[in-house]
Structure 1
């Protein structure tokens, strides 16, 4: 990757708009599916799938089913990353969309423990694995396709902003997921909600998947990939020549994952189950935080195009590390307004890192292994960050009888992110050719 001016090869404006819309819509739907499970794991699944367990144990088991998807996401990143670097980014994105959509729809059909016993939890885990494989291949493909089309359009100086549109799909998906559960909880009695109301948002995902498939089918393949001779063994090449970039990707992403899932998942159960506040308090905080990210993500991405990826990312990591020591004392006051504020600001602060992330990570890898490298590093970090965050936060709170341990946990990951960002090369002014 060198500091060259873009060549005559271009991406048409219409094609670029389709890519941006496809990345945003597809990522929104896939994260809707994923976050829907996370929200249900905090609020619904302990009663539906683990009713015989102690409430605290049932919650831990529920979070474990939630974390299974993170464990298989690197495998999805490897499988679909390799396919993306060998047969094309577009085909992979259609495949991951369908895999994720089918898994989510079937989760809405799984009978509860009262109907089929322990097999209910077994089926739930298998479908969660399906979700993890699909999402594992989604991010690397969408980030690569967006960044490469932006580069092909001769707009490398705006690559961070253009690639950030797919990042907006995460708060959009979470907003849809939390909003769907919020509405279902509000319009029906708790007995009906636990019996069947929670299933409706899962079943409704089928409509969203069909809409996104229609959009993605019209997207053109990446111009940079089209000009490359595909590498038959991209994973081997990536591990041999780009292992340092993979390690930096993992370090950069951990704080983003931990801070997000601590506030978007663990805080929901802590507020409702430990503090005995209405579940709507946590859901309101998540909704407001996701709305704030619609402003924070593009602004931070655009700023990274102007001043560089590293300084913006470092600022975001410091923000979440500091806010962790402010947010949890606010939540522990049991004041509903302060709890909402703590969650909303925590999620918004994470958006500072998330805005430039797609460009920052994809710019580290050469075209031949870009989908494999970006997807694999991103998803491995998901195990260390997102998969463990709610579970570790729950264990830390139970072990130390204080949320101060959770603040320290988030701060440690922020230090790792700052260090990794400073060790990475600045790539905002480089073309991807």
Structure 2
């Protein structure tokens, strides 16, 4: 988002449409190569005994942990949908629905995402106090209650400050999930299938629900059913809440 704001300031609209839009993708490709190089420099932390297990990284081993897989699939679907709705799609929503200028919407989202980034350690620390289960229940309950009101209010917002406040409310709710999602998923699988269990469930849920958020939202808007998307996100938040109820309670078994 910061790159988008900078490009909007230094390039004309015609230049952005002609070739400027390619710059973020080019930067992303370069950073992907850098990330791959960094990852290859890291030492593996899994024990040799774990890697040597017959079912390590196998679908058979994953099947034995199918309940954990389905649970991760459920709250990842809801979490990624909410995350993409209030991050990548929100800039377009402010422009297309609220009628804000693209530069204003980009500025709002850049500021909101900076704050969102800074509060992640705080929500992570809070989860260490109250437990993963409570954090996920807070996410599911608050997203269920406030998704429709926030998106509905943003439809008619005119003040950039009001828009920022509403977006931040949504992102703070999402933070209950994003601040712990990685560690929560890892804690739910034994070491021998952890990479497969987390990776596959994340990839499937993120692609089907998070990745399609913008497409679904714009498709419903094009046929005059934009508010249906609000309820779709809410329904997925209900799913996250129900799945989170099945997590272990703090102090009983695995501390989640």
- Which interval holds the TM-score relative to the shorter structure? 0.7 to 0.9
Establish whether residue 347 from structure 1 lines up as the match of residue 171 from structure 2. Answer: yes
Establish whether residue 424 from structure 1 lines up as the match of residue 247 from structure 2. Answer: yes
Report the CA distance shift for 1:380/1:217 in structure 2 as closer, same or farther (over 3 A): closer
Report the CA distance shift for 1:267/1:201 in structure 2 as closer, same or farther (over 3 A): closer
* C-alpha separation in 1, matches of 2:39 and 2:139: 32
Q: Which runs of 5+ in 2 are unaligned?
A: none
Report the CA distance shift for 1:291/1:399 in structure 2 as closer, same or farther (over 3 A): same
* C-alpha separation in 2, matches of 1:321 and 1:289: 21
* C-alpha separation in 1, matches of 2:236 and 2:29: 36
What is aligned with 1:226?
48
- For 1:407, which of 230, 236, 251 is the aligned residue? 230
TM-score relative to the length of structure 1:
0.53
Shift, 1:216, TM fit:
3.4
Residues 329-374 of structure 1 show CA distances to partners (whole Å, capped at 9, x for unaligned) of 3222241422333223322321111111112111111111110011
What is aligned with 1:393?
217
What is aligned with 2:8?
185
Shift, 1:207, TM fit:
5.0
Establish whether residue 236 from structure 1 lines up as the match of residue 53 from structure 2. Answer: no
Q: CA RMSD in A?
A: 2.6
Residues 96-154 of structure 1 show CA distances to partners (whole Å, capped at 9, x for unaligned) of xxxxxxxxxxxxxxxxxxxxxxxxxxxxxxxxxxxxxxxxxxxxxxxxxxxxxxxxxxx
* C-alpha separation in 2, matches of 1:205 and 1:394: 24
8 Å contact kept, 2:147–2:230: yes
1:4-403 correspondence to structure 2 within 5 Å: 178-205=1-28, 208-209=31-32, 211-212=34-35, 215-222=38-45, 224-228=46-50, 229-231=52-54, 234-337=57-160, 338-403=162-227
What is aligned with 1:19?
none
Report the CA distance shift for 1:303/1:285 in structure 2 as closer, same or farther (over 3 A): same
Report the CA distance shift for 1:289/1:254 in structure 2 as closer, same or farther (over 3 A): farther
The 3-state SS of whatever aligns with 1:234 is coil
Residues 228-284 of structure 1 show CA distances to partners (whole Å, capped at 9, x for unaligned) of 214466232234201111110011122211112122233322332344421123323
8 Å contact kept, 1:263–1:286: no
Moved over 6 A (4+): none
Shift, 1:427, TM fit:
7.5
* C-alpha separation in 1, matches of 2:118 and 2:104: 22
Report the CA distance shift for 1:248/1:416 in structure 2 as closer, same or farther (over 3 A): same
Residues 146-193 of structure 1 show CA distances to partners (whole Å, capped at 9, x for unaligned) of xxxxxxxxxxxxxxxxxxxxxxxxxxxxxxxx1111111111110111
8 Å contact kept, 2:75–2:239: yes
8 Å contact kept, 1:296–1:352: no
Residues 385-430 of structure 1 show CA distances to partners (whole Å, capped at 9, x for unaligned) of 2123222222333444453x23222211111001101112348874
Question: How many residue pairs get matched?
Answer: 252
Identify the structure with bigger relative contact order (alpha carbons < 8 Å, sequence gap 6+).
2
Q: Which runs of 5+ in 1 are unaligned?
A: 1-177
In terms of mean alpha carbon deviation, does 409-418 or 229-238 score higher? 229-238
8 Å contact kept, 1:286–1:347: no
8 Å contact kept, 2:57–2:195: no
* C-alpha separation in 2, matches of 1:317 and 1:336: 28
Shift, 1:204, TM fit:
3.1
Report the CA distance shift for 1:430/1:329 in structure 2 as closer, same or farther (over 3 A): closer
In terms of mean alpha carbon deviation, does 364-373 or 190-199 score higher? 190-199
* C-alpha separation in 2, matches of 1:225 and 1:369: 13
